[in-house]
Amino acid sequence: MNHFSRAFDIVPERININIIMNHIYQTFGNFKTYDKDFLHHKTEENFRAVLERQVPQQKSQIERIYDDGRDNSITLNAIFNDIKFDHRYTDLKSFVDYLEPELNFFRNDSEKIANFVEETIANLEFYKWSIDHMIKIHRKMIDDIDQILRQLLILKSTNTYRYLAGEITMKDIDDQILAQQINISGSFQQSQLQFGTHSTMHINQINNQALQQVCNQMREIIDQSNELPEVKQDIKNIVAEIEATNNPSAFKDAYTKLTSALSNHITIFTAFASSRILTELTKYLG
């Protein structure tokens, strides 16, 4: 499903841009929740009254955790609406180039405020629950922004972004595709010269050996992730299916199954993409 109701890839791609865009969309949805969380501490917990009674001299410093936090969450939610509906951000490059500096600014601001207030209250004696919780909300916002920024880095490595940025031309992309085709074809022809009528068996063995290395790398990344054991095993099972394929059709089915599963586990997806595993796997799509 494409939450943005528009396609961002305009040239042949090795990375599924829609999966990344949809996760960015979903992560941005968290900022609306954070806004409500901040507001709860003002209207329900009445944290300002607590500060006024218990630490009046530090009140103006401490309450910045709310003021800046709520401002940031509201603004980030507004940015979210911009990227959904503003016609200025309909292509991938304008989308990434707009988001990246904005997110870096709010990330740094939230980190600065969270650290400042944390240090301010460290040696004070008062009812800190609301303040501590709002510091945690800032940390969650920082984590979400970091996640989106990592995804933007992946988007900047795509053919579409690099083409729009003038870093590569259509000829470069065509040459890239041709090189992959030649690599596959050349390996096959070489195996025919070496092994004659048994070439099909040997080319599968050669490909499987390289593919096995990629699959082993995927397993290592999965094991190092923070996903639940059952999630890790489910994805490993798909990796095993990929490893066992012996024809392009079966591989494509297994590859599609993998990318679909990864769409729900962006941490592993990001690690695969940044390690160029997904790029490597596309070579076997034929």
Q: Look at the pTM and tell me if it is higher than 0.75.
A: no
More confident site: 132 or 267: 132
User: Residue for token digits 């968290």?
Assistant: 30
Token pair in block for residue 263: 């769409």
Please enumerate in sequence order all residues whose Cβ is within 8 A of that of 139, keeping only pairs 6 or more positions apart, or say none. Answer: 114
Q: How far apart are CA 165 and CA 92, in angstroms?
A: 10
Mean pLDDT of 14-24: 81
Q: How far apart are CA 103 and CA 119, in angstroms?
A: 24
Predicted confidence (pLDDT) per residue in 82-137, tens digit: 877 777 777 899 999 999 999 999 999 999 999 999 999 999 999 999 999 999 99
**141 pLDDT above the threshold of 50:** yes
Q: How far apart are CA 156 and CA 159, in angstroms?
A: 8
More confident site: 193 or 281: 281
Q: Radius of gyration over alpha carbons of the chain, in Å?
A: 24
DSSP three-state, residue 14: coil
pLDDT of residue 68: 97
Q: How far apart are CA 82 and CA 77, in angstroms?
A: 9
- Is residue 80 within 8 A of residue 28, CB to CB? The reply is yes
Q: How far apart are CA 247 and CA 79, in angstroms?
A: 45
- Is residue 273 within 8 A of residue 151, CB to CB? The reply is no
247: left (phi over 0), alpha (psi -120 to 50) or beta: beta
Token pair in block for residue 40: 């709860």
Number of residues assigned to the chain: 286
Predicted confidence (pLDDT) per residue in 152-207, tens digit: 888 888 888 989 999 888 888 777 767 655 554 454 455 444 444 444 434 344 45
**16 pLDDT above the threshold of 50:** yes
Token pair in block for residue 163: 């083409």
Q: How far apart are CA 66 and CA 137, in angstroms?
A: 10
> Number of C-alpha atoms within 13 angstroms, CB side, residue 199?
12
User: Residue for token digits 């089915």?
Assistant: 253
Predicted confidence (pLDDT) per residue in 204-262, tens digit: 444 567 788 888 999 999 998 888 888 999 999 999 888 887 777 788 888 888 887 88
pLDDT of residue 257: 86
Band (71; pLDDT cuts 50, 70, 90): very high
Question: Closest Cα partner for 62 from 73, 51, 70, 72?
Answer: 51
